[in-house]
Structures are given as structure tokens and as C-alpha cells.
Amino acid sequence: ELKVEQNPLFLSMQEGKNYTIYCNYSTTSDRLYWYRQDPGKSLESLFVLLSNGAVKQEGRLMASLDTKARLSTLHITAAVHDLSATYFCAVDAGSGTYKYIFGTGTRLKVLA
């Protein structure tokens, strides 16, 4: 059964600093997704990573996927307050199931 773990669960960082959120998963998959959730709101898609070595960047966020290590990273560069949110990774359970399992989320707080 697919398990998806994120760390850290909570992250408080100063504006202007860099940090990385990690997403590990337990079974083979080559499709991984990152979502953002603002407090009290729904989730919105950030990145879709569909193959080993995939790298996507949007503004101060960059996501990558290493399917051999079963690891994805979400790197934050020069954080700003607007990035404060909860970030989730989700993994496709594979074999054409279209079943997506989420990690527990990383709650990011960027301090001014």
C-alpha cells in the first residue's frame, strides 16, 4: 500500500531565506503532484511531475522528482510572506488506477 510522507510538518522561516520540503513515497510511481492550500481554502495545483528527473519552476518555488529514490523536493528560494500556506504532495498509486494519495502536508509560515 502506498504511503506518502512529508517533512518537515511545520516550517517557520524568515523572509529571504531558502528551504526545502521533502516528499518520500513507498512504492514505485513516476507521477507526483504538489498543491498549495491557504487557511480555510481549497487546494490549488502547483506542479505536475511526470517522469524521473522532472524539474518545474514557478517564481520562487522549484519542484523536482527522483523516481529511483522515491523522493520529490519543493525548494523555496528567498521566501516571502505570500508563500505562507500548507503544501501537499500527492502520488499516483500507479498501474492505471488514477488513485492519488496525499502526504500529511507541510505548514509553512514565512516571517517578515
Partner 1 sequence: NAGVTQTPKFQVLKTGQSMTLQCAQDMNHNSMYWYRQDPGMGLRLIYYSASEGTTDKGEVPNGYNVSRLNKREFSLRLESAAPSQTSVYFCASSWGGTTGELFFGEGSRLTVL
> Strand, helix or coil at 81?
helix
- Considering the rule CB under 8 A, would residue 43 count as an interface residue with partner 1? yes
- Considering the rule CB under 8 A, would residue 15 count as an interface residue with partner 1? no
Helix (H) or strand (E) holding 13: strand 10-14
Among 12, 18, 52, 104, binds partner 1 (CB under 8 A): 104
- Considering the rule CB under 8 A, would residue 33 count as an interface residue with partner 1? yes
- Considering the rule CB under 8 A, would residue 31 count as an interface residue with partner 1? yes
- Considering the rule CB under 8 A, would residue 100 count as an interface residue with partner 1? yes
Give the integer Cα–Cα distance in Å for 96 and 47.
Answer: 20
Closest CA to 28 of 55, 49, 1: 1
Residue placing its CB nearer to partner 1 in the complex, 97 or 112: 97
Among 15, 17, 38, 44, binds partner 1 (CB under 8 A): 44
Cβ burial of 101 (10 Å; 0-12, 13-18, 19+) is middle
Give the integer Cα–Cα distance in Å for 80 and 97.
Answer: 38
Binding site for partner 1 (CB under 8 A): 6, 9, 31, 33, 35, 41-45, 48, 50, 88, 90, 92, 97-105
